[in-house]
Amino acid sequence: MKIYADTSFLVSLLYPGDPKHGAVVAFFAQRQGDDWLTTEWSAFETLNTLRQLSMAPPGAKPQAIEAIRRLFKHWHRHGPFQREEVDMSVALAEAHQLSAAHGNSRRMRSADVLHVALMGELNPDLFVTRDKDQYALAVAAGVNAQLVP
């Protein structure tokens, strides 16, 4: 099974200080044999979000975030994550379509719309997120999605 996880899921998975870390790790552990897909976009947003955690008290230490970055990179080299190439112009065109179709009726952060738009490029079997608004958009767009509490 091919699974694409959004940033909310990945941050909870990677950052032990996240309140939902345990639940996400348990979900991930049950699916370690699956193919976990990332993109340059999802990797950037995940690492940028992790770095931002050091700004809020008590905050993560920058050294801890660097160790997490290295772990994430290791997981890409030796599994279970694989970085997929996507055509961002195609994904952005799809994001425009999603915005036109749903932007007046539901909350949609631009980054969330882009994650859902990437589904057409990645064609995963499952999209996982911890974000209720993003989950609702994915379902409305016909994506097989799971909200991980």
User: Taking 90 as the threshold, does the pLDDT of residue 123 lie above it?
Assistant: yes
pLDDT given for residue 149 in this prediction:
86
Q: What is the mean pLDDT of residues 13-21?
A: 95
**What is the spatial distance between Cα 125 and Cα 128, in angstroms, rounded to a whole number?**
10
User: Taking 90 as the threshold, does the pLDDT of residue 56 lie above it?
Assistant: no
pLDDT band of residue 57 (cuts 50, 70, 90) is confident
pLDDT given for residue 58 in this prediction:
83
The per-residue pLDDT for range 127-146, each reduced to its tens digit, is 999 999 999 999 999 999 99
Domain 1-149, CATH among 3.40.50.1010, 3.30.830.10, 3.30.70.260, 3.40.50.300: 3.40.50.1010
Domain ranges of the chain: 1-149
The per-residue pLDDT for range 69-117, each reduced to its tens digit, is 999 999 999 989 999 999 999 999 999 999 999 999 988 999 999 999 9
Residues 6+ apart with CB under 8 A from 66: none
Q: What are phi and psi of 59, to 5 degrees?
A: 70, 150
